[in-house]
A = this chain, B = another copy of it.
């Protein structure tokens, strides 16, 4: 069985298994053994490739963030007006992939992990900076100096709607989420838009 070039395959499988496991468990209380099993290998191999549990977790988080970033970039590429840019970000935030219970659970768990892990915090900070600068680029042409606060508001609102989804019960659909945030955006940029 042992072929060459297994490392990227194994790492990838582990990252995906980690997200799945966290999502299923709803928390970071996930054992390396379970992750490895789900990924179809021994826990020793997981350690071999990642060095330790924390690094597996961080890699999983990075993966989610990367996917999200790609989604945003893809949506932004098709947006040609400022308002469309904002819309694109909102839509990407609540895209099917991001809105899966699994992903939300993992995301929430990472928030908690960021409380103690510098690596996790750094990643989350990067995500937030990007989000902010993307929103700002959309709001600036529309609101000039009021763009800052608008970006902050929409950023927080997205996070809030997203996090509320974590309580599976009484959750709203993706479309509802998009509509809700968009209504707020409309309120911020004024009736004229």
A residues sitting closer than 8 Å to B (CB atoms) are 25-28, 105, 108-109, 111-116, 121, 124-125, 128, 149, 152-153, 155-164, 166-167, 169-170, 172, 180, 183-184, 187-188
CA distance A28 to B108 in the complex (A): 13
Smallest distance from the beta carbon of A114 to chain B beta carbons, Å?
Answer: 6
Smallest distance from the beta carbon of A185 to chain B beta carbons, Å? 10
CA distance A169 to B125 in the complex (A): 8
CA distance A166 to B183 in the complex (A): 26
Partner of A111, one of B25, B159, B166: B166
Q: Once bound together, how far apart are the Cα atoms of A162 and B183, in whole Å?
A: 21
Top-8 shortest CB links A-B: A26-B115, A160-B160, A156-B160, A187-B187, A159-B160, A156-B161, A157-B157, A26-B116
Query: Beyond A26-B115, A128-B170: 13 further Cβ-contacts under 8 Å?
Result: A26-B112, A27-B116, A114-B167, A125-B167, A125-B170, A128-B167, A153-B180, A156-B157, A157-B184, A159-B163, A184-B184, A184-B188, A187-B188
- Are B184 and A153 in touch, CB under 8 angstroms? yes
The answer for the CA separation of A53 and B23 in the assembled complex, in Å, is: 23
> What are 22 A-B contacts with C-beta separation under 8 Å?
A25-B115, A27-B28, A27-B112, A27-B113, A111-B167, A112-B112, A125-B169, A125-B170, A128-B164, A128-B167, A153-B184, A155-B164, A156-B161, A156-B180, A159-B159, A159-B160, A159-B164, A160-B161, A163-B163, A184-B184, A184-B187, A187-B187
